Amino acid sequence: MSSMNFDFQAILFFIVLSLGLIWLVGHFYNKKDHSIIELSGALFPILLVVFIIRSFVFEPFRIPSGSMMPTLVKGDFILVKKYAYDLRLPVTNRSFWNTNELKRGDVVVFDYPCDTSIKYIKRLIGLPGDEISYKNKQIKINGDLLANKFQYVYKNTKQYGAHVYEESIGKNTHLALLTPSRRGKEGVFEVPEGHYFFMGDNRDNSKDGRYDCPGYVPRNHIVGKATTIWFNWDFSSLPEWNRIGKSID
């Protein structure tokens, strides 16, 4: 989702660490009245709370493309639940506690396997050991056809002629975008152990598990589960206020 070439979480960690050390040194040498010490003491607890929330609870992201339409559109600002599947150490990103297993149908943020500084967001279709088939715009999971039902023609000027379908994966129901005039990449995909297979909801306009990159995504690349749209603004137009507060299914 993001092509930033720096690690904001690591930068925030070192800022918090620096402020904490300055504040401690000031107290040790009884320099609490110094302006730098006072500023560090004021900022340290605030940024520490921000760092803890971003590391273990929720992290905000912005959607930069239309590969997850109609579920998510370009300009959506979302919250990702960091503890949905794992608790990870800040900066190193090493998991120290698995909290839950991933479920088919979840909308998941993960590190792009070919460049881990980039975050991707897709829908989980295949679990370890699954065989996924995608042909004629239909998905089969271990030979079972994924039920879908036409809903309406998508009224979006950026993708004329696309059709919205309702899909069901287990207890999860979501919308997917299929464009009759386009042909998405097809094939049969066998998910290795310890890996997951993801697809974008905008099936004919998504670089996902069907391609060599990202391909199959290992568990240690999973960042968290997308839960809520907290704002929307594409910068080229006014915000879509009706999207604010929508849960991500």
Residues 86 and 115 in one domain: yes
Q: Are 194 and 128 in contact (CB under 8 A)?
A: yes
Whether residue 72 is contained in a domain is answered as: yes
* Share of residues in the chain with pLDDT > 70 (%): 96
Residues 44 and 69 in one domain: no
Nearest to 49 by CA among 19, 79, 76: 19
Residues 52 and 71 in one domain: no
Whether residue 120 is contained in a domain is answered as: yes
C-alpha distances out from residue 165 to 137, 150, 162, Å: 11, 4, 10
Residues 28 and 116 in one domain: no
Whether residue 178 is contained in a domain is answered as: yes
Q: What is the pLDDT of residue 159?
A: 78
Whether residue 12 is contained in a domain is answered as: yes
* Residue 207 bears catalytic tag: no
CATH number of the domain encompassing residue 153: 2.10.109.10
Residues 109 and 37 in one domain: no
Digit-coded pLDDT (tens) for 16-69? 999 889 888 887 777 766 788 888 888 999 999 999 999 999 999 999 999 999
Catalytic annotation, pick one of 82, 119, 122, 137: 122
Q: What is the pLDDT of residue 4?
A: 34
Residues 173 and 192 in one domain: yes
Residues 146 and 24 in one domain: no
Residues 184 and 84 in one domain: yes
Distance CA 162, CA 70 (A): 10
Residues 175 and 72 in one domain: yes
Q: What is the pLDDT of residue 235?
A: 85
Residues 150 and 188 in one domain: yes
Strand pairing category for 195-199 and 187-190: unpaired
DSSP the chain: -B--SS-HHHHHHHHHHHHHHHHHHHHHTT-TTSHHHHHHHHHHHHHHHHHHHHHHTEEEEE--SSTTTTTS-TTEEEEEETTTTEEE-TTT--EEEE-----TT-EEEEE-TT-TTSEEEEEEEE-TT-EEEEETTEEEETTEEPPEEEEEE---TTSTT-EEEEEEETTEEEEEEE-TT-----EEEEPPTTEEEEE-SBGGG--STTSTTT-SEEGGGEEEEEEEEEEE--SSS---GGGTT-B--
Q: What is the pLDDT of residue 157?
A: 62
Nearest to 59 by CA among 239, 246, 245, 226: 226
Whether residue 204 is contained in a domain is answered as: yes
For residue 5, pLDDT over 50 is answered with no
Whether residue 2 is contained in a domain is answered as: no
Number of domains observed in the structure of the chain: 2
Whether residue 1 is contained in a domain is answered as: no
Residues 40 and 98 in one domain: no
Digit-coded pLDDT (tens) for 130-154? 999 999 999 999 999 998 999 999 8
Residues 93 and 163 in one domain: yes
Whether residue 248 is contained in a domain is answered as: no
Catalytic annotation, pick one of 40, 55, 67, 206: 67
* Residue 158 bears catalytic tag: no
Strand pairing category for 172-178 and 119-126: unpaired
pTM surpassing 0.85? yes
Q: 214: domain range?
A: 60-243
Q: What is the pLDDT of residue 32?
A: 65
